[in-house]
Chain A
């Protein structure tokens, strides 16, 4: 089946092309800044996409998703600080620890629903935040500097701006592809069915929470990867990446771009971070504009940007 040609697919295709060609533009114009900015954006887009998997498709409104950014980041940072610089060790550990954390908090949190689920995921993320603050050996409150980026035995050089950008982009595309496959798979249909009507799904024989939990763990693991990338990008990791407002940022990206749309979170991340960056060039007080913009989007553009584009097609 060919993807339908409509506004949202066109935007997604254009966006992918632009992201792929960005380093060319950056090299041609000597604009390094845009490359570093978009490196950050792709990382957050990956994190937001993973949140979208549970929020948009799974109906699980987690308010603690930034915890995995920190966990993935700390896994890299701590191993680096202990002299284990190989990415082949750091990254699998980052993913594994994120998955374990997701498994733990997921199996506890999924007993609750609605607002209570929002609150309990938030509580767990806050606990992770305070645990990180207490790691005095690894910088405590002040955070931990990562002196050397993950080493992939010469396969790829993470300190090279372009290579690192493409690595991040590949992770983003890989993550999106994975999510796309999952969403359309047997498993994905069950997860979406559970979001839509849990009672019905139980009645036809699905143990709803088991599917929810697996989905929750997958999303956490993907976000842990984003965390490992982020630590390499900033050469630094601190408890602040886990604070609840960071989780809020991720939620904003997802909702802004369009929940339950594959490319929605990517659009959301680009628009949100770009807006933040652009505004900060004109004014120190970007929130004065960004805040009301968010409010207006909620008031007038339900379904996020992708939803808006979808409606445009139908006229």
Chain B
């Protein structure tokens, strides 16, 4: 059989297994979904809440969309990040990690399968959340350039995966603390990516971090498309920046992951020992 079809089958194996396992842990999925939905609602209610507090209502509709886009994109990226960044922790917890690493497939196949699963997982989760949340807010999205929004989300997912893969390498380097560090990375992304506010308000020393987060550009793209009716062409600068960040972060992530696997195999840290 052709090696490429072996790799494809290998990648598919990860998608299928992760899907089945996720389904078996459905109780947790329900919990996470409820949490996400409540979180999206709670954040978005800040907009009408501000109107009630200040008596100023001119920007409320704008703010509802602004916050909704932020919190939904974060829900999606969080789903993608979780599924990729915790793959080592998950395999270690189930105890299968050594068996997975013994399979005669390439590391990129393993990462590719997990990444594809994570994007599907993130999309499905987010669509469910959007479905529920749309019952609470009436939005006028007729003028939205959905194609532009989709292009930003898909390209941005690639860049975000790169960061997820880097975070996934942490548990290979640090047996005990790796997973905790992964969560810190996730939290930092939330702070610097301008999910709920423009990154320009960040302190000067923090703002540069927002430039390397793909989420920053995804949000600029989608908000441009939804709030200002801009097209891809109007936002080519953002698109190029997103492209550049993704082009660097994905190969860099894979490279770091490869190095971390080598390190784990050299020091006996693949599996929790004893």
A and B assemble together = no
B contacts, CB < 8 Å to A: none
